[in-house]
Structure 1
Amino acid sequence: MSSLSASFVQIRFDDISFYESCGGGSFGSVYRARWISQDKEVAVKKLLKIEAEAEILSVLSHKNIIQFYGAILESPNYGIVTEYASGGSLYEYLSSKDSEEMDMGQIMTWAMDIAKGMHYLHSEAPVKVIHRDLKSRNVVITADNVLKICDFGASKFLSHTTHMTLVGTFPWMAPEVIQSLPVSETCDTYSYGVVLWEMLTREVPFKGFEGLQVAWLVVEKHERPTIPSSCPASFAELLRSCWVAEPKDRPVFKQILVTLESMSNDSKLPDQCNSFLHNKAAWRCEIDATLERLKRLERELTCKEQELEERERRLKEWENRLMEQSRSCVPFFPPVATKLSAETFFEAHSEESNSSEMSCQISSSSNGELGGASLQALMKGFSGVFDLDVSRTGRVPVSQTGMQVNMQAKQNSSKSCSVRQGRKLNMALAMEDFGWSDSDSDSD
Structure 2
Amino acid sequence: MPEPVLPSTARTLLARVARVQRDGRAPSLVAGVVRDGGLAWSVGRGDVSEPHTDVQYRLGSISKTVTAVAVLRLRDEGRVHLDDPLERHVPGTPLGQRTVGQLLSHLGGAAAESPGGWWERTPGGPLEELGLADEHAVLGAARRFHYSNLGFGLLGELVARLRGRAWDDVVRDEVLAPLGMTRTTPRPVAPAAEGHAVHPWADVVLPEPEHHAGVMAAAGQLWSPLADLARFAVFLLGDTGDVLDPATLEEMAIPAGVDSSAPGWSAYGLGLQVMRVEGRTLVGHGGSMPGFLAGVFVDRDEGTGAVSLANATSGPEPVVFGLLADLRAAEPRIVEPWTPAPSPVPLEDLGVWFWGPSPYLLQALHGGLLHLGPLPGRAGRASRFARRDDGTWVGLDGYYAGEPLTIAADHLDLGTFVFTRTPYDPAGPVPGGVDEGGWRH
TM-score by length of 1: 0.20
Larger radius of gyration: 1
Looking at both structures, which has the greater relative contact order when contacts are Cα pairs under 8 Å and sequence separation is at least 6? Answer: 2
Q: As a proportion of its length, which structure holds more helix?
A: 1
TM-score by length of 2: 0.20
